[in-house]
Structure 1
């Protein structure tokens, strides 16, 4: 068996025009197998902050990136080996020659985004059988940015290795890079087509390619560095690190014949063209859409001939859609023992997903929060409505963490192409080998990703792919039109490390401010408003009773929510009234005699007989300037100032005390012997929808007259 690549080479499909970035410990681009295909514009050294990704010789293992690059794009010559896509461009992003940080990963995933089409990443968290880790917030954000904006909007392709923790019973669903919906997760088979001893199983694995096996089997021949006495060529490249670049090379061949494949199209084509290996193994399961999947091998072995021919006839899949179920807060005990697991069911009905346009599944995510004294005892299984079973989390004997799972997300691709309708079952089993205390499920979420593509349309595409395997479409004269990318606008700049840090810090700052404001409001607002109302009432009474005041000023914030109205008479003669910050609608209520000062937003009544009012759903302030023949001002407090026949809604009870205090204070001022205040009249109504009216000087029956004098 092989990857069946020579047939596409014969048809001049060699990866021309596609650039693959090696995200690794460096790239010795001066090697004669690399230099003719080296892409300087796509390369960068993130460890030393320069444009040369050449690996340092401080470690023996810094040949890793150069070896991976040779598998993809080593030129066709008489030296060493030849790459899968030997005319593709190859760039190097040096990031592993130093401490890895979240921001460094993020910058690597977006570096030279419009130059690099594929990012090959043969690294991940520790494969020690006890680590649960993945991309953190900045790296995850960068990956999302790449699938949205990379390749002019068709999406960057991120190829990752599934991991080498098989000897320690590790599972690649505990690796957040391997179980991401945005990545192409690649495992390994040896030259006999069997799972090597180091390889990991998982339900999120998409496919496998070739790599090393036991000591009596061959490893991968590829380019090597020339430092530390190395020859520049090796036949001992191993692990899933060697498998992932072969997959990246085959994807480059696909993009040559169909440049407008989206990142999801690539995943579809791999799932629908991969072929079974280890065909006698019972671990293969046929799902409801007719696809075979194995936890060991994904959908099977990637083969270049099938991938390239299928890409040639592939129409872009419709947009991605999703549906989320959240269990809410739980506290369910996980029963110990193999035969009595915790089972939870959730039914997805047509009515529940109506409007989501989700007809065919792609990837299914399960996020769990579990308290448990020994995390490695737990096994987690998801069963799709069709009956397809996914071991999304397997027990690990070396994982004795007491942290449980704090919102960890598992992934499965085993139900790809199926309908989401029906009962979903989550099974959590505690194998109880260590005799620890019980665990508790606190929350679980089910997120279904899919497409408006119906299961029937999915089957039509499968038949079209099989029809293309003869190679009849693999010529230059046959080309399907390319649709516009999902995102058509190219970003002017890539997201730099500083930009990503700024985004995260800004978000954290905004969150802190929001929390502070919420706390301040809850703790202080009521007392402050109470004190402010008291202060304003005192100021009102003081100004109304002041002999030398230039007018009557009232701030109505104690009555009208979030508004500040200032009511003044000009000089005590009742010439005009000003109402600041009054809206144009309020001005219309005042009639034609109103005029606006646009600079200060002040509306003025031209004579003492005009009335200015403000009418809202909560309260209103109505002012009327009145002057009697004795030059005394009158202050009127009217409790029912309404037009005849109208139904009025009273002010809320909380407003009554304000009104009553005003009446009391003004009445006290009226009974004093001090001189009166300047001309002015103030009407306050409890009615929430009182209309504007004017009062004649002799209309005493409609108001209570209170003569006011200063203290």
Structure 2
């Protein structure tokens, strides 16, 4: 975000040494014609694509980093997505030759370029991260000198599978030198298939071992489930759930969002508020910029105010016969022009090689991945834990007036910003806030690595007499004392079982709040969200979820899980809290 002082004055000497070598060269290079529409990079409140202007200074805070040659040089970013068009004129120079992997049989092994006219998602994501800068065409990436690799997990051979994730995240030949892995995928599950403790370990151990033990930085989209739980074309989230305004699907229900190695990213729009679709939850870490939909009413007769607010401008599949810019007759993708950049009729760019319609936490995630590449250029010796910490510690508090949400009976369902006992502001909408590239890069240059990880391991309590789940005035509680010497928390993972039967699709009556030894309360699962837990549990149970609200608090002491039946008007409990488990990670 724009600052009242020139942040060049705050750059470390180490950063200046990196920077000055390329400043003169940068000024001599050609520009990027569509850069002025990329409000997420530099935002002075200018007119962009959409009927509303972005709010001044709502951007990634890149400021002068690019001019000083901090562009992600030397950092390899993997894009696990639909395939990337590796020959795209604004991407080709940054694609690692023979560095990508095509999982579709019968096609070139290292060319994952989509064959479907609608397969533009990965190319749009890659452009946000690392579109080539100053080449006289198109757009610029957040990290315009980063090297890119594409892994087409969503290809012609079907959807994303476990073996494709494992290959792309750590096990594949092409993934070995990936420093940042962007994952603009996930979901708003209709039910949870919970990871077991062994499965969590089977992910986290190899993820931590990559990059010679420093660990790849895995950046992942939080999901677009604020008002939707899609299931075979239907929205399972009813209007009664939507009206409570706590968010239909919490981001922690997508199980991989809870892994310790993953940075889970929410989306902020050009007004500096939560993007209308962005999944909330305690498992968030930070926010990126995802925008809204980028339509203009002069072309598009759309309903809903957010439809005409700016989206993200980035690369598209080349040509007007495919991608977001697909306007050939009888196609099944896009049949109407929606903004000034669209189609061969555009007077801005008639190549159809770019789009102004990219949005979602799918767009927010690569903005954070790009900032991470800038951070790792400044200090390649940072571990994934260091990077996570830096991004959280330097993030900016957006939407400071975020309202708390209450049940009609007065029960607090979701707080706004809460400052934890260590003085860290946290929000279930934004995590620790919107990433700030210059602040993060500056901090990275002089950052002292975090002490060795302290892991409490999983601790569990399962009493013979399970406490009944009562009203908010009489909640069920279970407590676990953590003895491990975790001086400062980095993340909390937890799970629980109940025998409380709920009605799927109806508002969830139960509220789950985790309370730290210091008294900070994290609303891990708010009541009145979409009600569906573990598929194989007869009651409402969540085997694995995270809360990141306790950064830097002491981990030793008694942790309490509090569960209440929020709408309960009498003493007739409908179930009990059978077990509670917790794992505390920190240093």
Per the TM superposition, whether the score is higher than 0.5 is yes
Secondary structure of the 2:576 match is strand
The answer to whether the aligner puts 1:57 opposite 2:125 as a matched pair is no
Does residue 222 in structure 1 map to residue 336 in structure 2?
A: no
Shift of 1:148: 2.8
Aligned match for 1:341, one of 475, 481, 484:
475
1:104 matched to 2:164? The reply is yes
Pairs within 5 Å for 1:63-82:
63-76=120-133, 77-82=135-140
User: Structure 2 stretches of 5 or more lacking a match?
Assistant: 1-56, 229-247, 293-305, 326-351, 404-415
| CA distance 1:138–1:27, shift in 2 (3 Å) | farther
Which whole-Å CA distance do the structure 2 matches of 1:404 and 1:106 have between them? 32
User: Mapping of 1:452-531 within 5 angstroms?
Assistant: none
After superposition, the Cα gap between the structure-2 partners of 1:330 and 1:58, relative to the gap in structure 1 and judged at 3 Å, is farther
Report the equivalent of 1:450: 586
Match for residue 380 of structure 1?
512
Match of 1:297 among 430, 435, 443: 430
What's the offset of the Cα at 1:150? Answer: 1.3
Find out whether 1:92 has 2:150 as its counterpart: yes
For residue 331 of structure 1, report the CA deviation from its aligned partner. 4.8
Give the drift of 1:108: 2.3
Equivalent residue for 1:208, pick from 287, 292, 300:
287
Structure 2 vs 1, CA of residues 174 and 330 (structure 1 numbering), >3 Å: closer, same or farther?
farther
Deviations 1:575-596 (A, max 9, x none): xxxxxxxxxxxxxxxxxxxxxx
**Unaligned runs of at least 5 residues, structure 1:** 452-711
Larger Rg: 1
1:3 aligns with 2:3: no
Q: Deviations over 1:12-45 (max 9, x none)?
A: 1110000101000101011001000001343101
Among candidates 515, 520, 523, match of residue 391 of structure 1: 523
**Is residue 193 of structure 1 aligned with residue 264 of structure 2?**
no
What's the CA shift for 1:121? 0.3
Q: How many Å separate the matches in 2 of 1:263 and 1:404? A: 36
Distance 1:136 1:119, change over 3 A: farther
Q: State whether structure 2 residue 392 is matched by structure 1 residue 271.
A: yes
RMSD: 2.5
- Listed as ranges, the matches of 1:644-683 within 5 Å are none
Cα pair 1:113 1:151 within 8 Å, conserved:
no
Measured in 2, the distance between the counterparts of 1:369 and 1:139 equals: 18
Worse-matched range after superposition: 42-51 or 409-418: 42-51
Q: 3-state SS of the aligned residue for 2:136?
A: coil
Matches of residues 126-205 of structure 1 in structure 2 within 5 Å? 127=188, 130-133=190-193, 140=200, 143-168=203-228, 169-205=248-284
Query: 2:378 aligns to what?
Result: 257
- 3-state DSSP of counterpart to 1:178: helix
- The alpha-carbon deviation at position 426 of structure 1 amounts to 1.1
Equivalent pairs, count: 442
Of 483, 487, 490, the match for 1:359: 487
Q: Find 2:181's aligned residue among 115, 119, 123.
A: 119
Equivalence for 1:661: none
Per the alignment, residue 91 of structure 2 pairs with: 34
Instruction: Tell me how far apart the structure 1 counterparts of residues 464 and 428 of structure 2 sit (CA, whole Å).
Output: 30
Segment of structure 1 superposing worse, 288-297 or 158-167: 288-297
Larger helix fraction of residues: 1
Between 324-333 and 225-234, report the one with greater CA deviation. Answer: 324-333
SS class of match (1:241) = helix
1:325 alignment partner in structure 2: 459
Tell whether the 8 Å contact from 1:113 to 1:150 is kept in structure 2 after alignment: no
**Inter-partner Cα distance in structure 1 for 2:530 and 2:430:** 24
Alpha-carbon offset, residue 380 of structure 1: 0.8
Counterpart secondary structure, 2:255: coil
State the Cα distance separating 1:434 from its structure 2 match.
13
TM-score scaled to structure 1, two decimals? 0.59
